[in-house]
Structure 1
Amino acid sequence: MKLSLRHRRFARCAAAVSATALVLSACGGGSEEADAADGDFGDVTLQLSWVKNAEFAGEFFADAEGYYADAGFGAVTMNPGPGAIETLVASGEADFGLSNAIATAQLVAEEDAPIKIVGTKFQKNPFTILSMADGGNIATPQDLVGKRIGVQAGGNETLFDALLEVNGIDPADVTKVPVEYDPSPLVDGEVDGFLAYLTNESITVQFDGHEVTNLPFADNGLPFVAESLIVNERTLEESPEMVKAFLEAEIRGWQDALADPDEAARLAVEEYGADLDLSMDKELEQANVQAGLILTPDVESNGLFTISDQLIEENLATLAAADIEIEADDLFDLTLLTELLEEKPELAELPEGVEVPTS
């Protein structure tokens, strides 16, 4: 079973913070001259949160179908992760980044990083406690009691502790087992549950022939947005039209990705991730699973990338449970997205045939 590095997305943040703290206040986005009168925004860099798989199908469509070019951009360089996404955007080394509310808020709260979330792909985060259906079978928070749970060091420990807290579970009633990022300890029966991703390890274990049970964090007291577009505050102030143009291209790309998961998988396997030896079946399953994280009743009403006021409040509550104190205005700035959807209301519509999952 292949080693997964997905969970290093949270752990990496603390290690990168100190190295960039001295430059954050002095550095801005790399495109402060980008709002040219003719709409030519030039070349930009997008820091991805993971390798080039189906998780970024919307970005692949935006590039392949010319939506970035139509919006006024030259080359859009997609740098694969994992990496210090938030610090790269804060220091101006990347124009845009794809992060999440936890990692972004941590850097803002601890180091006053000049970055904001301007929209989000995933309304629901993909974190889960993965278990074997014929083993731990952890379907509710109370099923954690008395179990051995594999948890990776760093930010994942903070998240797991928050999961216990919001569900009123005494940490002494759960055995936390240090693990790496390969779910083999779960498959081998060394642990009853494993902190994982719905879009990664859960699918991998299933494709290895096992029936699994998931306990999604988003549905069990810890909702927070993920795969969120982050931008440097200086870019927001000096190049708002560029940010709006990028958001437009992203939305159009994701409209296509949701409407055609087969092509989303193909773009990942045969083109953008061609050097990764990806599985077409796994990437197609990922495209379908992540649609359930993207499509919600709020998105159906308000459009892709939007974040409702209620969801923002839920995010703040999750952050508080993880001991991250921050105000909404210090983390989110949806002004430009709101303006864009008012100017081009067709962007708020879901593609024909795309429906919000009922469960």
Structure 2
Amino acid sequence: METTPAPVPRPSRRTALGAAAASIGALALAACGGSSDAASGASDGGSGDYGSLDLNLSWIKNAEFAGEYLAVDRGYFEKAGFSSVNLIAGGPSGTSTETMVLSGSALIGTSSPLGVAPLIKDDEAPLKIIGTTYQKNPFTIISLGDATPITTPADLAGKRIGVQAGVNETLFEGFLAANGIEASALEIVPVQYDPQPLVNGEVDGFFGYLTNEAITLELDGKDVVNLPLADNGLPFMAESLVVTQESIETKREELKAVLVALIRGWSDAVEDPEEGARLAVEDFGKDLGLDMEKETRQAKAQVDLVSTDETDANGLLTMSQDLMQKNVDALVTAGFDLTLEDYFDTSLLEEVYEENPDLR
């Protein structure tokens, strides 16, 4: 099993809602996210002089951000008008994207609809999602085929499921609600992010990531069975691009330049996942002791989450009306009764693709 870095856990580390909520009062009206006070540049989205870009990642610098690495490595951000790029790692010791963007410490960052929903609903935080890398989330309930396989939501009845506190717990509760399952029908066991309790038989299922813990367990020779949330009633997008409403209004061209660079980077990551994994292991995450085989598997596995029939038609990072509505419906199930317009703004990507037809 992968032991270095520490087991790479998932969803709840994405948002650190407690920290974000604690600081939201001071941050809600803070200056918009942004890394440069440079002029907004020309309307073509690529000829501005924007200075340095601060981009907050939702997790450690593993293969999950292959598109960002390729965009930096191949000079796409520089061509878009940025003098340098600071990819800010998230993770156990990192700060949530919501907090970073609201405070102005980052112009843009990656999170998820469920990450921004509590802050938008409860604190009226001026956040918007302007695009998404993962069209389909990788959240899953992992079980072992040679122990107690869980292949359908109905199989959860009577089982012990390891779930991390925070956003993961909220996601799991939404998953149960979406499938008409009462929480009393099973036992929710508090766990951390290492799937060892599943291996030890302390739980029958473990809340994790298809592209992370599931792969780590497979590489350790375990008979892994997945129950993907996205295929069973909870179709959240993930690695969504979060900004402030103010930056949409005042740094529009700068944001569009970021999107152009990211689209080019993720296009390369889809075509060459091995290179994205290599950059994670040997360059951007070289201090983490990442395993090349695991990172390559992750980079390849996430291609199907990033590139879909809808992105083939509309372009990478885009969010279709149907996808956004499914996310809103899932958020309502999770207790966040807001409208599509409260969460999403697709206008920047629409302009980007209209002004840069070569990106398709």
| Interval of TM-score (by shorter of Structure 1 and Structure 2) | over 0.9
Name the aligned partner's letter for residue 194 of structure 2.
Answer: D
What is the aligned partner in structure 1 of residue 13 from structure 2? 9
Equivalent residues in 2 for 1:30-41, closer than 5 Å: 30=34, 31=36, 33-37=38-42, 39-41=48-50
Q: Find the partner of 2:187 among 158, 171, 175.
A: 175
| Structure 2 unaligned blocks of 5 or more | none
Equivalent residues in 2 for 1:32-71, closer than 5 Å: 33-37=38-42, 39-71=48-80
Q: Find the partner of 1:299 among 301, 311, 321.
A: 311
What is the aligned partner in structure 2 of residue 92 from structure 1? 104
- The structural deviation recorded for 1:288 is 1.0
Runs of 4+ off more than 6 Å: none
Aligned CA distance change for structure 1 residues 306 and 7 (closer, same or farther; 3 Å): closer
Aligned mates of 1:272, 1:10 — CA distance in 2: 19
Q: Give the 3-state SS of the residue equivalent to 2:163 in structure 1.
A: strand
Aligned mates of 1:11, 1:72 — CA distance in 2: 29
What is the aligned partner in structure 2 of residue 116 from structure 1? 128
Equivalent residues in 2 for 1:1-359, closer than 5 Å: 1=1, 2=3, 3-9=7-13, 12-30=16-34, 31=36, 33-37=38-42, 39-82=48-91, 83-348=95-360
Aligned mates of 1:229, 1:286 — CA distance in 2: 20
Aligned mates of 1:179, 1:145 — CA distance in 2: 19
Alpha carbons 2:14, 2:59 under 8 Å: kept: no
Aligned mates of 1:55, 1:302 — CA distance in 2: 22
Aligned mates of 1:154, 1:61 — CA distance in 2: 32
- The structural deviation recorded for 1:8 is 3.2
Identity across matched positions, percent: 50
RMSD over aligned CA atoms reads 1.4
Aligned mates of 2:127, 2:279 — CA distance in 1: 30
Q: Give the 3-state SS of the residue equivalent to 1:218 in structure 2.
A: coil
Alpha carbons 1:11, 1:156 under 8 Å: kept: no
- The structural deviation recorded for 1:4 is 3.3
Aligned mates of 1:229, 1:298 — CA distance in 2: 18
State the TM-score, normalizing by the size of structure 1: 0.94
Aligned CA distance change for structure 1 residues 26 and 263 (closer, same or farther; 3 Å): closer
Name the aligned partner's letter for residue 213 of structure 2.
Answer: E
Alpha carbons 1:32, 1:234 under 8 Å: kept: no
Aligned mates of 2:74, 2:65 — CA distance in 1: 14
Alpha carbons 1:32, 1:238 under 8 Å: kept: no
Alpha carbons 1:124, 1:224 under 8 Å: kept: yes
Name the aligned partner's letter for residue 36 of structure 1.
Answer: G
Alpha carbons 2:97, 2:242 under 8 Å: kept: no
State the TM-score, normalizing by the size of structure 2: 0.93
Aligned mates of 2:27, 2:98 — CA distance in 1: 13
Aligned length: 348
- The structural deviation recorded for 1:7 is 3.6
Aligned mates of 1:21, 1:126 — CA distance in 2: 32
Aligned mates of 1:11, 1:248 — CA distance in 2: 25
- The structural deviation recorded for 1:6 is 2.7
Aligned CA distance change for structure 1 residues 11 and 307 (closer, same or farther; 3 Å): closer
Q: Give the 3-state SS of the residue equivalent to 2:316 in structure 1.
A: coil
Alpha carbons 2:158, 2:186 under 8 Å: kept: yes
| Structure 1 unaligned blocks of 5 or more | 349-359
Aligned mates of 1:113, 1:171 — CA distance in 2: 30
